[in-house]
Chains A and B, each alone.
Chain A
Amino acid sequence: MMWEIIYIFLGIGVAFNMLGSLGLIRFPDVYTRLHAGTKCTTFGSIFICFAIIAYGLWRWYDGEKEMISLAIHTFFAMIAILLTNPTGAHAIARAAHRSGVKPARAVVDDLEAKEGEND
């Protein structure tokens, strides 16, 4: 029973990570690629973390006391992913816009107007 739950978590995680990498190939410019590269990889990696936490807690419950550390470490890794992944995406997007990369096929660009005012 536990193995099935772990495999389901792993399957969801791998599927979303794969969609994220597919998005990196298919989308036209850096901003839309960041959409795929942050949302999907965060969500997918969180599910992979869930699988590891489930495994660690299960082994711990079965009497292998040291396996609890696997679950705790993975939990911290999950929080780190959840906080740093969107932050890194902001940094990349902001740097891209400042260095003059225009969003492809954009219908509106308010930031462009604002930077124009400052010049």
Chain B
Amino acid sequence: MLAFIASAVFCFVIWLLLTFNGRMWGTDEIVAGIVMACIAGYISRKIFIKDFKLANPKRWLMILAYLPRFFYEMAKANFDVAYRVLTGRIKPGIVKIAPDLKSDLAITTLANSITLTPGTLSVDVDEEKNLYVHWINVKDEVLEKMPRDYKPICSTFPEWARRIGE
């Protein structure tokens, strides 16, 4: 029930934002929005909301604090790819990292961050939540140890993902 209300309210807010055109909403728009939000909320209640982790405002603050860092890394990633496109200097490989995260939210945040940041692309995740990362420029010192050191691959992202999602 709580999941239905939360997703319906979420859908309704999105509806209001999407139909806003500079003036106040008419009554017909709001009524149609409530009906649509209830239908969409009923259908999506099990997909949207598995637990209530994101109801905690601290996590939203963490996401906001994470965005500038993420954006900076993304800009760096693009110059990195640009360099590799122009010079063709690549040394690819798939490495396994064990970030030691448990929740789905944290591992999703980490995997998406890894894909959008320099030189890495997450390929697969196994049952113990180990990530398999395609790395475009493999460094030799990482290959020596078997539990790979994740610092050179994705710097401090696992810590951020832990703060957001655990």
Contacts and interface: CB of A to CB of B under 8 A. Distances in A.
A16 B78 contact: yes
B164 to A, nearest CB: 14
A83 B112 contact: yes
Contact of B85 (A27, A68, A86, A90): A27
Contact of B121 (A19, A34, A60, A67): A34
Q: Is the interface of A mostly helix, strand, loop or mixed?
A: helix
Q: Is the interface of B mostly helix, strand, loop or mixed?
A: mixed
Contacts of A107: 91-93, 138, 143
27 contacts: A19-B82, A26-B85, A27-B90, A32-B92, A34-B121, A34-B134, A35-B81, A36-B81, A38-B116, A38-B121, A39-B116, A64-B22, A65-B21, A65-B22, A68-B20, A68-B22, A69-B19, A86-B112, A86-B122, A90-B123, A93-B134, A103-B93, A107-B92, A108-B138, A109-B94, A110-B132, A111-B94
Q: Which 5 A-B pairs have the closest CB atoms?
A: A65-B22, A86-B115, A110-B96, A108-B93, A23-B85
Interface of A: 16, 19-20, 22-23, 26-29, 31-32, 34-36, 38-40, 42-43, 60, 64-69, 72-73, 76, 83, 85-87, 89-90, 93-94, 97, 103-112, 114
Interface of B: 14, 17-23, 74-75, 77-78, 81-82, 84-85, 88, 90-96, 111-112, 115-116, 119, 121-124, 126, 132, 134, 136, 138, 143, 148
